[in-house]
Amino acid sequence: MTSHEQLLATFRSQLTRGLKGRDKDWETSRRLINASHLADTLHRLIERVRHADLPSPVEASLLAVLNDGRAQRIQELSGPRLKAVTGLPPAKALRALCVYFDVVEPAPSRWPTPSLESDNVSAFVRTHPSPFDLLLTANVASLLDLGSGDLSFAKEVADFYGPQIHREDRTLILHCVDRLHPQSKLGGALHPPRELLDVLRSRPDLSFQFLPDQDMCEFEELVGAGRLAARYAVTTCWAPATPTFAYEPSRLSADVIQRHLQETKGAFRKARYSGEEALEVQHRERTLLFPPWKFDIRGPLALLDVVARSSCVGLLGAVDSQVFWELLAQLLDDERFRPEDAPFTFENLPTIFGDVHQRLVTLPIGDTLDLSTCASLRSRLPCVLSPKPAPEGYRFRSVLIRRGAVFPSMPASSTARRFIDMIEEAPPWMVILVPDR
């Protein structure tokens, strides 16, 4: 017996011993290999294998039999190779690996996980006017709306897609997360009307969930608590918050950010309003009140991290210019797009982004541009949120840029629809992101 065979034999013995006394986890593992969960299960297994303390030949064999997570059905995995590594037939082999590497959940998830190939999703968004139509073809019709505000976008999605999906005897999973506390006196029109909440919760064609007072950057915690699905077909964020996502802390120091905030937004301080904490901002001749976290800086890398973890395709809509260029700097490969401690301004953008800037600012309203035709996309973006499932980072298979706030036959938020009246604002952007899985 070769040393490689001896190592595999030792692993098979460890696997068998690791199953003892874990009958409950073994039963739970059955659903992890269903078609709707298999792709996600394989990816989670691959991540655990890479971080486990295994001999290199055993790790290489396991990664090879898991087929880089590309399988959509168990039949697409090599049964003989799985048996050589685990000593078990394919289905039992996968379940045993799930238990051994703790890829288990304490209770069945209420929401299935879509199983979509990145290549297929990329092709879809390139050839369909509305990326949201993916909800009609995905094996799981699910959408997560981050920073959902008044739920105007959720209502449009429900009205347009809910009946179509229901006619196929399926249910649209529609989950919304917002940072505002429902009892807060701040936020004004961004609070959803009680009547709309009641309607969405009572609709038979929806599996609707609204989570207020939640930070979208705590996505993994919400998943772990069983409040959100592990992944959605589509994740959206309309009008990503400024300045929260308008400054990237990895390239701008805290002092530079604070100075630029005071120069552009005005002096600000923590205050109290109607018994709750608030942020008071002196903007020109006006005193404005916001929730206390309004100027908390997370940066576009945090937003991209949430999108990559949570979606098969991410759509950032009605993105204002400040957030857009900071976001773009993180998506492009060349370091020159990320100058240290140099906030982007109207004057320096043409110099920093060069031809990329010229192509984008001349993009007609309604048109779409493949960002990779302007410059190389970044091969690896760092995970900045905890836990960090992939220390080596992640990438986006494709990034499409569309100019404008609203588009024909496409749902949009009330903020996006208000852009038509904001004559002093530059036309916003939509960024369509396909994570590479």
Closest CA to 242 of 153, 350, 327, 183: 327
**Phi, psi (rounded to 5 degrees) for 131:** -60, -25
pLDDT digits (tens, 9 = 90+) for 155-193: 999 999 999 999 999 999 999 999 998 888 887 778 899
Q: Output DSSP code: residue 377.
A: B
3-state secondary structure of 188: helix
What is the pLDDT at residue 107? Answer: 44
What is the pLDDT at residue 276? Answer: 87
Q: Give the residues of the chain that fall short of pLDDT 50.
A: 106-108
Q: Which residues contact 61 (CB under 8 A, 6 or more apart)?
A: 8, 81, 84, 85
What is the pLDDT at residue 229? Answer: 93
3-state secondary structure of 434: strand
3-state secondary structure of 365: coil
Identify residue 289 by its one-letter amino acid code: L
Q: Tell me whether strands 232-238 and 206-211 are parallel, antiparallel or unpaired.
A: unpaired
pLDDT digits (tens, 9 = 90+) for 5-58: 888 899 999 999 988 888 888 887 887 887 657 777 887 888 788 878 888 888
Neighbours of 22 (CB within 10 A): 16
Tokens representing 85?
């590594």
Domains and CATH numbers, the chain: 3-100 (no CATH), 118-246+304-435 (3.40.50)
What is the pLDDT at residue 156? Answer: 97
Distance CA 313, CA 307 (A): 8
Q: Give the residues across from 299 on adjacent strands.
A: none
Identify residue 315 by its one-letter amino acid code: L
- Sort residue 96 into left (φ over 0), alpha (ψ -120 to 50) or beta: alpha
Neighbours of 274 (CB within 10 A): 9
What is the pLDDT at residue 106? Answer: 46
